């Protein structure tokens, strides 16, 4: 039997909301302001190890390039696909403003990310208070300090997460106000904020479904005219945004290849495992890694069905208690629904490296953090004095542990070498970390370590064209040219349509083969191709001229028959 509309829901009991009064509201607003400032200070302290850090991985690709730091560049950000790393025009407009303010200074970007994260945490508090969910400030504080969110906050590129969540929560709060007042102006504000969220990151497309879950949780039913019809334009916007982003991911960013060749059953199995993985990491946030191992999804392995079966059993258990409380099922629906864009039903570029990443759980983590916080608040309220003291101590210890773990985790993002070495220590099979570390070391004198990293990539991914090319260059610069020949040839074999790799590989092969007895003609052939591919490159043309002179000299010195 459905829960009565008048029956109090376990997460929605807040006696302070029954008769707030002006004085009480003013006092709470003042207290909330001080708590927000305290939370900002605490979060800044936690993220201090990353604040003075350097760019990592693709940060330099997201920070607005010098060529776009103009009004014309801002116009291109909105109108030109490919002008920015991803087509999130509002996000890149924010980066454009930041670049105009402080250029390439890393501290400014880190501070903005932390501030946005704290604003999102405070909006979580506001949303919980509006929905009369207990433990609002505990939820906001746990969200601000939780280690699984470090990747989204300490990694500059993930300003798309922090900024989009601010718009997502503002849109949710605005829509709930509209749901109470039913004024067109309120609806216009809410849908505009939702559009801003979509233009910052498409994962926010789950908001209209999340709102329906909230309405079902509050009222025990969903009404077509009241609840669904006003959200139909939102669903249309979400679908259009999601399909467009999927097209961009596949055709412009490169979400295609063997890593994405999964059938329907494999994708269902992957989805269950992904949900369970994130649930585990939120509840027990240890051994968090920048790049997790890339799972093999095998439909013939019986154990891989366990995740889906566990989720089905959990959903059934929550459904069976809906007459007493709908909160657990609503939380599970929100959690799984918020993760839908990254469950494997849609192909996204990071799946090339791993099917899971901490920053994918940034929004969805609220589906665990909020109900757990509410449960702790309710337990504290209903317990005796002695138990209340124990609960307060437990909550204090929890927050200290989370802050400590997040501070340690943020150190990983202080610079790219630390990031990749830490990743390799926790996930030695991360070929991406090995490759990127090798590329960084190529700019130093650590040539032997650079070569070792590329060799590690090729042990894990033998057909990685760029690793073959990079290893070839490293061997050449180390005076081991003959050993590099095979790697340049394989680089061209595995990526024949990549003009950068093939052009430079032909050049290096030409230079190396020039010095090898009996291979001068082969060297000239490679250098001629290099010159055709890169006609303005003086090094290729110079090497070709030298090789042609060497052949001419050899022919003139050749004794007559």
Instruction: Report the pLDDT averaged over residues 419-447.
Output: 94
Same structural domain, 550 and 403: no
Query: Out of 144-153, 156-165, 521-530, which region has the weakest mean confidence (pLDDT)?
Result: 521-530
Model confidence at 558, pLDDT cuts 50, 70, 90, reads low
Same structural domain, 42 and 128: yes
Query: Out of 254-258, 328-332, 437-441, 474-478, which region has the weakest mean confidence (pLDDT)?
Result: 254-258
394 found inside a domain = yes
Same structural domain, 116 and 44: yes
- Copy the structure tokens of residue 156: 């500059």
CB contact at 8 A, 157 and 57: yes
Same structural domain, 427 and 317: no
77 found inside a domain = no
CATH number for the domain spanning 480: value is: 1.25.40.10
92 found inside a domain = no
CB contact at 8 A, 76 and 69: no
Query: Out of 7-11, 70-74, 458-462, which region has the weakest mean confidence (pLDDT)?
Result: 7-11
pLDDT over 70 percentage in the chain: 94
* Length reported for the chain: 561
Q: Is residue 10 scored above 50 in pLDDT? A: no
Measured between alpha carbons, how far apart are the two ends of the chain, in Å? 105
Same structural domain, 369 and 232: yes
Same structural domain, 383 and 474: no
CB contact at 8 A, 273 and 367: no
pLDDT over 90 percentage in the chain: 81
Mean per-residue pLDDT of the chain: 92
Residue 6: the pLDDT is 37
Same structural domain, 250 and 373: yes
Residue 256: the pLDDT is 79
Q: How far is CA 150 from the centre of its chain?
A: 11
Q: Is residue 4 scored above 80 in pLDDT? A: no
388 found inside a domain = yes
Q: Is residue 141 scored above 50 in pLDDT? A: yes
The 10 Å Cβ neighbour count of residue 81 is 11
How many separate domains does the chain show? Answer: 2
Q: Is residue 19 scored above 90 in pLDDT? A: no
Structure-model confidence comparison of residues 259 and 72, the more confident one: 72
155 found inside a domain = yes
Same structural domain, 391 and 504: no
72 found inside a domain = no
Q: Is residue 18 scored above 80 in pLDDT? A: no
559 found inside a domain = no
Residue 30: the pLDDT is 84
Same structural domain, 440 and 381: no
Same structural domain, 398 and 519: no
Model confidence at 445, pLDDT cuts 50, 70, 90, reads confident
The 10 Å Cβ neighbour count of residue 172 is 25
Instruction: Report the pLDDT averaged over residues 104-124.
Output: 97
533 found inside a domain = yes
Q: What is the pLDDT of residues 166-224, one digit of tens each?
A: 999 999 999 999 999 999 999 999 999 999 999 999 999 999 999 999 999 999 999 99
Choose one of 357, 383, 411: the last residue of a domain.
Answer: 411
Same structural domain, 222 and 354: yes
Model confidence at 15, pLDDT cuts 50, 70, 90, reads very low
Choose one of 396, 411, 426: the last residue of a domain.
Answer: 411
Residue 559: the pLDDT is 59
Choose one of 383, 411, 439: the last residue of a domain.
Answer: 411
The closest of 220, 202, 128 to 165, measured between CA atoms, is 202
Quickly tell me which residue has 């607005």 as its tokens: 64
Q: Is residue 554 scored above 80 in pLDDT? A: no
Range of the domain at 472: 417-554
Structure-model confidence comparison of residues 175 and 540, the more confident one: 175
Q: What is the pLDDT of residues 510-539, one digit of tens each?
A: 999 998 988 999 999 999 999 999 888 899
Same structural domain, 388 and 424: no
């Amino acid at each position: 039997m459905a829960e009565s509309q008048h029956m109090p829901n376990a997460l929605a009991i807040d006696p302070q909301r029954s008769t707030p009064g002006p004085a009480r509201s003013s006092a709470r607003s003042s207290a909330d302001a001080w708590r927000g400032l305290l939370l900002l200070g605490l979060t800044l302290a936690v993220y201090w190890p990353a604040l003075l850090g350097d760019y990592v991985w693709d940060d330099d690709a997201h920070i607005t390039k010098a060529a776009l730091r103009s009004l014309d560049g801002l116009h291109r950000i909105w109108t030109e696909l490919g002008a920015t790393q991803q087509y999130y025009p509002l996000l890149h407009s924010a980066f454009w403003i930041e670049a105009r303010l402080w250029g390439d200074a890393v501290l400014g970007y880190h501070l903005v990310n932390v501030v946005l994260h704290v604003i999102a945490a405070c909006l979580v508090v506001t949303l919980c208070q509006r929905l009369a969910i207990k433990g609002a400030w505990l939820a906001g504080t746990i969200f601000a300090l939780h280690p699984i969110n470090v990747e989204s906050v300490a990694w500059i590129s993930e300003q798309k997460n922090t900024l989009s969540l601010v718009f997502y929560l503002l849109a949710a709060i605005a829509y709930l106000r509209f749901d109470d007042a039913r004024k067109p102006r309120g609806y216009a504000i809410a849908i505009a904020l939702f559009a801003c969220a979509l233009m910052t990151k498409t994962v926010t497309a789950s908001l209209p479904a999340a709102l329906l879950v909230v309405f079902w949780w509050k009222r025990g039913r969903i009404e077509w005219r009241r609840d669904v019809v006003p959200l139909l334009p939102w669903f249309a916007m979400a679908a259009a945004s999601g399909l467009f982003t999927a097209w961009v991911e596949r055709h412009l960013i490169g979400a295609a290849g063997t890593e994405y060749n999964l059938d329907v059953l494999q994708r269902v199995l992957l989805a269950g495992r992904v949900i369970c993985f994130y649930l585990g990491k939120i509840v027990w946030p240890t051994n968090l890694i920048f790049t997790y191992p890339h799972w093999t999804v095998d439909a013939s392995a019986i154990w891989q069905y366990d995740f889906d079966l566990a989720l089905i059993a959990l959903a059934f258990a929550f459904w069976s208690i809906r007459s007493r409380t709908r909160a657990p099922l609503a939380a599970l629906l929100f959690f799984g629904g918020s993760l839908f864009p990254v469950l494997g039903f849609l192909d996204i570029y990071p799946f090339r490296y791993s099917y899971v990443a901490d920053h994918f759980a940034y929004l969805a983590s609220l589906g665990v953090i909020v109900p757990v916080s509410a449960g702790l608040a309710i337990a504290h309220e209903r317990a005796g004095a002695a138990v209340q003291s124990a609960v307060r101590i437990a909550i204090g210890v929890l927050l200290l542990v989370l802050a400590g773990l997040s501070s340690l985790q943020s150190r990983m993002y202080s610079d790219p070498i630390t990031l990749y070495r830490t990743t390799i220590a926790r996930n030695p099979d991360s070929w991406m970390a090995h490759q990127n570390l090798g590329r960084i070391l190529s700019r130093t004198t650590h040539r032997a370590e650079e070569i070792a990293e590329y060799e590690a990539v090729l042990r894990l991914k033998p057909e990685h064209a760029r690793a073959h090319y990079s290893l070839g260059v490293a061997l050449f610069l180390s005076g081991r040219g003959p050993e590099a020949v095979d790697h340049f040839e394989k680089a061209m074999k595995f990526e024949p349509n990549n003009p950068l790799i093939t052009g430079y590989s032909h050049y290096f092969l030409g230079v190396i083969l020039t010095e090898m007895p009996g291979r001068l003609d082969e060297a000239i052939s490679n250098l001629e191709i290099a010159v055709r591919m890169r006609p303005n490159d003086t090094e290729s043309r110079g090497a070709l001229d030298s090789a042609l002179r060497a052949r001419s000299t050899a022919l003139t010195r050749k004794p007559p028959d």
